[in-house]
Amino acid sequence: MLYLTLFICFISSILLTPLVKKLAFVVGATDKPNKRKVHQRIMPRLGGLAIFFSFIIGFLIMQPDNKFAWPIVLGSIIIIITGVLDDIIELSAKYKLAGQLLAAAVVVIYGDVKVVSINLPFDGMLHFGFLSIPITILWIVGITNAINLIDGLDGLAAGVSSICLITVSGVAIMMNDPFVVTMGVITLGSTLGFLLYNFHPAKIFMGDTGALFLGYIISVLSLLGFKGVTVISFILPIIVLGVPISDTFFAIVRRIVKKQPLSAPDKSHLHHCLIRVGYSHRQTVLIIYAMSAVFGLAAIILSKVDMWASVLVIGILLITIEIIVEKIGLVHQSYRPILNMVRGMRKNA
């Protein structure tokens, strides 16, 4: 039944996306080219509605019997309304944040989705107590915005989100968590159907409607899906979402280094940097897909290995990320501590 529902969500998204495209032009939800944008013509940007409606179709077919189910749906409706309004009238940052906080609060308070504790090395555990609610809300809002920030090239956010959903669903299968598997699969089918129209050259953008929805769903499912994992549990969802989280983290570092406001837009995100060093639009998207797949594979490995192997894998990932950041100038062209150290060692050898 689950695989049939995945197929139904996939087909529903394929059928609904052209209708949403027409609606976007009617209501004025379009994206005009500017110096920060890669596209060169006016594009409809309400595509996330097709993903959401397909997700709801899958949800109603499966009707998952779980206390988290309806709070997640209610929160997703709030996030969709926020995204739709932003795609049509471009909400100010404070109103967008208010919508995200409300959606997160619904699933945390009404649905009781909380990061109560995290597993520490050598069988230790850290309990958050009264901080569990604000920490969980911060996680949901942070990941929601991370997916939104990476939505800068045709098919990028949809593809990266699909890889994250595959990873979360895969771990949930290993952990025997049918609810997370169900929610992950129906979201995946809905996203892949839309991706057929969104991959380069895109016919429609998902807009904030889609990016916020996918970020919200992934953030919640990643918390639920990794609850039973015993190796530094909070690290695993961070690794699954390694690409959008890394891009967001270094965007913050970049703005601090340049003494810019944290909310200041720029054209130095991961995808911008890869294009700047010579990769084509399509190549850049595929490279970031590959990066996401590596992070996903690493998370699956970490869910199965012991502490010392986990430390080794995480160490390799961090060094790899730093080298990529330095090579493509993600922080600044002159920021190259490791590469300069290696160059110095070669000169002295």
121 domain residue, yes or no: no
139 domain residue, yes or no: yes
Cα dihedral 323, 327, 331, 332, rounded to 10, equals 140
Residue 186: what pLDDT?
97
> Which residues carry a binding-site annotation for Mg(2+)?
148, 208
118 domain residue, yes or no: no
What is the spatial distance between Cα 7 and Cα 90, in angstroms, rounded to a whole number? 34
Would you tell me how many other CB atoms lie within 10 Å of the CB of residue 92?
10
Written as tens digits, the pLDDT of the chain (349 aa) is 888 999 999 999 999 999 999 999 999 888 876 555 555 678 899 999 999 999 999 999 999 989 999 999 999 999 999 999 999 998 988 999 999 999 999 999 998 888 777 766 656 677 778 888 998 999 999 999 989 888 878 899 999 999 999 999 988 888 889 999 999 999 999 999 999 999 988 999 999 999 999 999 999 998 887 765 444 556 777 888 888 888 888 888 877 877 777 666 667 778 878 888 888 888 899 999 999 999 888 888 877 776 677 778 888 888 888 888 888 877 777 777 887 787 777 777 6
Residue 56: what pLDDT?
97
Residue 77: what pLDDT?
97
What does pTM read for this prediction? 0.87
Place of tokens 């555990």: 125
Per the structure block, which two tokens stand in for 71?
């709070």
263 domain residue, yes or no: yes
Residue 121: what pLDDT?
60
Sign of CA dihedral 310, 315, 316, 318: positive
- For the chain, the 3-state helix, strand and coil shares in percent, each to the nearest 5, are 70, 5, 25
How many domains does the structure of the chain reveal? 1
Looking at the chain, the number of H-run helices and the number of E-run strands are 14, 4
Which residue range(s) make up the domain with 91?
2-113+129-348
Altogether, the residues listed in the chain come to a count of: 349
What is the rounded radius of gyration, in angstroms, for the C-alpha atoms of the chain?
20
Per the structure block, which two tokens stand in for 8?
């139904």
> Which residues carry a binding-site annotation?
148, 208
50 domain residue, yes or no: yes
Residue 26: what pLDDT?
94
What is the spatial distance between Cα 282 and Cα 299, in angstroms, rounded to a whole number? 26
What is the spatial distance between Cα 129 and Cα 15, in angstroms, rounded to a whole number? 46
- The secondary structure of residue 128, as a DSSP letter, is -
**Strand, helix or coil at 336?**
coil
6 domain residue, yes or no: yes
Residue 50: what pLDDT?
97
221 domain residue, yes or no: yes
Supply the angle between the helices 132-149 and 93-105 in degrees, to the nearest 10: 130
Residue 349: what pLDDT?
60
172 domain residue, yes or no: yes
Q: Is residue 247 a contact partner of residue 190, using CB atoms and an 8 Å limit?
A: no
